[in-house]
Structure 1
Amino acid sequence: MLFNSGIFAIFFICVFFLYWFVFNRSLKWQNVFLAVCSYFFYGCWDWRFMFLLAFSTFLDYYSGLKIANSESRNLRKFWLILTVSINLGFLGIFKYYNFFIESFAELLTWFGLTPHFSTLNVILPVGISFYTFHGLSYVFDIYFGKIKPTRDPINYSLFVSFFPLLVAGPIERATHLLPQVERPRTFSYSKAVDGLKQILWGLFKKVVIADNCAELVNTIFGSHWAYSGSTLAIGAILFAIQIYGDFSGYSDIALGTARLLGFELLQNFRFPYFSRNIAEFWRRWHISLSSWFKDYLYIPLGGSREGMFKTIRNTFIIFLVSGFWHGANWTFIIWGGLNALFQLPSIIFKKNRRHLDTVAQGRLLPTVTETVQVVTTFLLASFAWIFFRAENMTVAVQYVKEMFSASLFSMPQVYSGKVFIVVAIFMLIEWCGREGKYALEKFSDSWKRPVRWVFYYAIILTILWMTGGEQQFIYFQF
């Protein structure tokens, strides 16, 4: 059930009216209803994995209670280790077992051995990395005394399975979402309008930008040996646009959908391609995952408090782990390592905490220095995305070699005026709206109402006009 599908629109309309007009008199029944709808939504992908979600939810809920009620520190640590081990064990079996087996077999062949290992023919459960991290943050926060466990299993189940964020985030924290689950919610017209605007912009990002870029990207990456270096460079840049439109589009739809139901989810993107260095980029890209690794891995490892060497070590650890979180492929690990490498100048020269504001804040145009910084950061990120997009390391290395050949300075072989025009318009709107939580939040506030409505209808018509083949969201595979 894709967010950009007709079936989801019907599903959500039914949920919205029943939630506000039938179950609105009881918070308990509202939460029960949303939890049931969330499991139904997840079951539409594959009903068998509903049991895995339910088991993970029960494990973390029960472990949270045991950690909170245990007077012995050793017993509390036991329950923490147990739930973390089981959660990561399931994640390892479904997502990483075949990767480790195949990598180990390849290693043995280097020593002249011929191993015979069996791999597992398993389907990766949609969203397993996301809801696993939801639960782990909950038990970590209880263990470290940041929150007290909820006694209501329905409330906790809704926190983990809330359908807007279930399959591709953002990765919520119990400290942020659980209190919203536990308190009464009232319908707000202004928040509903804001939610609809964010959904509209998310659909534009996904359907118009990401899906149309995907057609060119798939063509170029699928036959990279047949294209010039300039065309491959365009392919890399278009993939950077595609993955941003795809993933931030999903997040916008998720946040807007949740707002229509009275919830505020964590902001997951803050215009990352307008960053002035890679450190700023990662404060603006997939914020919920970056902050998760910062709080539960980087800081416990010592963060940046124990000297330059350990700061660099810890930075590489979280980026390599982040790459591995994305998938069982060496390409993701290299992608993470490249991003860590790109951060080194900022760390060494202690500039990684610069640029905490918005670029050209309060101004229409950036300075020459800011322009150079933004373009350089975008190109570095686009280069790293090549490894993220490539099927394997062989393809990635070949793509890079072919891209940096003499034909890099030739005329590109692939053209799509329609795609380039809408991407240019998209980036212009994003730039003008960069000081809001999302581009349309304040973009047209100063316009007269008829002009605003013409603008919104133009977006809707563009979405309908440029709707192509229905493509799954990229991050569903993670």
Structure 2
Amino acid sequence: MLFNSAGFAIFLPVVFALYWGLSRKSLKLQNGLLLAASYYFYACWDWRFLFVLIFSTLLDYYTGIRIENALKTNHRRFWLWLSIIINAGFLGVFKYYNFFADSFAEASSHLGLSIHPKLLEIVLPVGISFYTFHGLSYVIDIHKSRIRAERNFVDYSLFVSFFPLLVAGPIERATHLLPQLKEKRPFDQAKATDGLRQILWGFFKKVVIADNCAHFANLLFDTHSHSGGSTLVLGAMLFAIQIYGDFSGYSDIALGTARLFGIDLLRNFSHPYFSRNIAEFWRRWHISLSSWFRDYLYIPLGGSKGGTWQKIRNVFIIFLVSGFWHGANWTFIVWGLLHAIYMMPSVLLNRNRRHMEIVAQHRSLPNVPEILSMAVTFSLVCFAWIFFRAENLSHALDYISRMCSGPMAMESTFLHSKMYPFYILIVFFFCIEWIGRRQPYAIASLFLSNVTLRWGFYYLLLAIILVFAALNQQFIYFQF
């Protein structure tokens, strides 16, 4: 079930009404309803993969209790590694088996060997990378004695499979979400209103900005051999805007939907395209994943406390694993490698903790150095996105070659007057994002002090959505 579908437009109000109808009766009934709704939501994709989700939930629920109950250190480690190995095994089979099999066969062919491994004809379960990481962080936190094992199976299952975050995050922590599920949640009109506001902005980003950018980005990536350099530069920029609008739009809808039920999820985006270097970009892009890798991989490896070579090693490990997490394709690994290289100046000069506040924090406009640094950072990110978007390495390298060597004149199609409304919408979008850059999401406090302007702006967004929306396009991160 897509957020931007008619089915979800019926599903959400029904669950909302039932949920708050049970608010005076029992917290257990509320959580049970949310769990049932979440399983229904997931089963709408493919009911067979519901068993994978339930098995993963049972595995981490049981091993979490065994870790806490174990009296000996080696027993605790056994149950921890059992969970890690089985979870990694599921990801390996569903997500990476064919990649490794193809790569092994190709490498063997260079040695004169002809190997034809049997490939698996299976569909990747939606959201498996996300709910697997939910469970892994949970058992690791128990092993580190940061939290107690959850005995209530319904509450734990809801933590793993709460429908707003189930298929594309944010990647939640048990320390943040489980306590909320165990406390009574009275209806809060201000929180629900704020949730609706964030949902509205998320829909605008997804169906207006991302999906319209997708039309032209897909066209240019699919027919790049017929386009000039400037046009392909535009294509890379449009994909950068598409993936931001698509993924941050999903996150806004997820966070806003959770807030309708009195639950706060972790923030996943903080205006990343206003970053002044790559380190700042990664503090603002896919925050829940970046912080997950920081806490459960980067810091255990030694973080930035060791010598120079250890810092470099850890950064490359983090970004290569991050790239591989996104997909079983060499393009994602190269994408991660590029970002590791981009990080090197900040790491080597010990500047990766600069720019902790948003740009122009106490000013309306950025100064010239900030504009230049944002432009350079955005350009580097756009270049790396080419590998992320490309079908394979050959496609990416050919796109880049054509972009750098082809005719630099912009194609007339993209200069036509019919394109002006599209460009105006993008400018409008970034202006609103800039105005609201200090807020959790761009329109969180926009026009709150003026009822007429506030509702006029909401009606404007709704009108734009009705006129320009491209509905029922799947979210990019569902494939991960």
Q: Give TM-score scaled by structure 1 length.
A: 0.99
1:28 aligned partner: 28
Q: C-alpha separation between the residues in 1 aligned to 2:448 and 2:371?
A: 27
1:248 aligned partner: 248
Q: C-alpha separation between the residues in 2 aligned to 1:412 and 1:25?
A: 63
Q: C-alpha separation between the residues in 1 aligned to 2:352 and 2:187?
A: 41
Q: C-alpha separation between the residues in 2 aligned to 1:155 and 1:71?
A: 26
1:230 correspondence with 2:223: no
2:454 aligned partner: 452
2:81 aligned partner: 81
Equivalent position SS for 1:187: coil
Report the Cα offset of residue 287 of structure 1. 0.2
Equivalent position SS for 1:397: helix
2:430 aligned partner: 427
| Aligned AA (1:309) | W
Q: C-alpha separation between the residues in 2 aligned to 1:443 and 1:354?
A: 28
Is the contact between residue 227 and residue 413 of structure 1 (CA under 8 Å) also seen in structure 2?
Answer: no
Report the Cα offset of residue 23 of structure 1. 4.8
1:411 correspondence with 2:400: no
- 429, 435, 439: which one aligns with 1:436: 439
Q: C-alpha separation between the residues in 2 aligned to 1:394 and 1:337?
A: 17
**Structure 2 CA distance for partners of 1:469 and 1:27, relative to 1, 3 Å:** closer
1:334 aligned partner: 334
Deviates more, 1:159-168 or 1:306-315: 306-315
Report the Cα offset of residue 315 of structure 1. 0.4
Is the contact between residue 61 and residue 153 of structure 1 (CA under 8 Å) also seen in structure 2?
Answer: yes
The CA deviation string for residues 425-460 of structure 1, in whole angstroms up to 9 with x for no partner, is: 0000000000000000022224x2112111100101
Q: C-alpha separation between the residues in 1 aligned to 2:431 and 2:259?
A: 26
Is the contact between residue 209 and residue 245 of structure 2 (CA under 8 Å) also seen in structure 1?
Answer: yes
2:352 aligned partner: 352
Report the Cα offset of residue 6 of structure 1. 1.6
Q: C-alpha separation between the residues in 2 aligned to 1:20 and 1:69?
A: 37
2:59 aligned partner: 59
Map 1:28-427 → 2, pairs under 5 A: 28-405=28-405, 407-408=407-408, 410-415=409-414, 416-427=419-430
**Structure 2 CA distance for partners of 1:413 and 1:79, relative to 1, 3 Å:** farther
| Aligned AA (1:473) | F
- 469, 472, 480: which one aligns with 1:470: 472
| Aligned AA (1:191) | K
Is the contact between residue 433 and residue 442 of structure 2 (CA under 8 Å) also seen in structure 1?
Answer: yes
Q: C-alpha separation between the residues in 2 aligned to 1:393 and 1:424?
A: 32
Equivalent position SS for 2:47: coil
The CA deviation string for residues 72-118 of structure 1, in whole angstroms up to 9 with x for no partner, is: 10000000010100001001000000000000000000011111211
**Structure 2 CA distance for partners of 1:24 and 1:165, relative to 1, 3 Å:** farther
The CA deviation string for residues 313-353 of structure 1, in whole angstroms up to 9 with x for no partner, is: 10010000000000000000000000110111111111111
Equivalent position SS for 1:407: coil
The CA deviation string for residues 111-158 of structure 1, in whole angstroms up to 9 with x for no partner, is: 111112110000100000000000000000000010001110000000
Equivalent position SS for 1:51: helix
Q: C-alpha separation between the residues in 1 aligned to 2:225 and 2:349?
A: 39
Q: C-alpha separation between the residues in 1 aligned to 2:218 and 2:228?
A: 15
| Aligned AA (1:418) | P
Report the Cα offset of residue 218 of structure 1. 0.7
Is the contact between residue 134 and residue 172 of structure 2 (CA under 8 Å) also seen in structure 1?
Answer: yes
The CA deviation string for residues 205-240 of structure 1, in whole angstroms up to 9 with x for no partner, is: 000000000000010000000000100000000000
The CA deviation string for residues 231-289 of structure 1, in whole angstroms up to 9 with x for no partner, is: 00000000000000000000000000000000000000000000000000000000000
Report the Cα offset of residue 417 of structure 1. 1.9
Is the contact between residue 5 and residue 471 of structure 2 (CA under 8 Å) also seen in structure 1?
Answer: no
Q: C-alpha separation between the residues in 2 aligned to 1:200 and 1:405?
A: 42
**Structure 2 CA distance for partners of 1:372 and 1:107, relative to 1, 3 Å:** same
| Aligned AA (2:290) | S
**Structure 2 CA distance for partners of 1:23 and 1:452, relative to 1, 3 Å:** closer
Equivalent position SS for 1:115: coil
Equivalent position SS for 2:300: coil
| Aligned AA (1:46) | D
Deviates more, 1:136-145 or 1:109-118: 109-118
* CA RMSD between the two structures: 0.8
Is the contact between residue 228 and residue 413 of structure 1 (CA under 8 Å) also seen in structure 2?
Answer: no
| Aligned AA (2:333) | I
Is the contact between residue 231 and residue 414 of structure 1 (CA under 8 Å) also seen in structure 2?
Answer: no
Q: C-alpha separation between the residues in 1 aligned to 2:333 and 2:109?
A: 22
Is the contact between residue 31 and residue 155 of structure 1 (CA under 8 Å) also seen in structure 2?
Answer: yes
Percent identical residues: 61
The CA deviation string for residues 150-181 of structure 1, in whole angstroms up to 9 with x for no partner, is: 11000000000000000000000000000001
Q: C-alpha separation between the residues in 1 aligned to 2:111 and 2:40?
A: 50
Q: Give TM-score scaled by structure 2 length.
A: 0.98
Report the Cα offset of residue 24 of structure 1. 4.0
Q: C-alpha separation between the residues in 2 aligned to 1:156 and 1:301?
A: 29
Equivalent position SS for 2:386: helix
| Aligned AA (1:411) | M
The CA deviation string for residues 189-209 of structure 1, in whole angstroms up to 9 with x for no partner, is: 111110000000000000000
| Aligned AA (2:154) | I
Aligned length: 476
Q: C-alpha separation between the residues in 2 aligned to 1:278 and 1:255?
A: 25
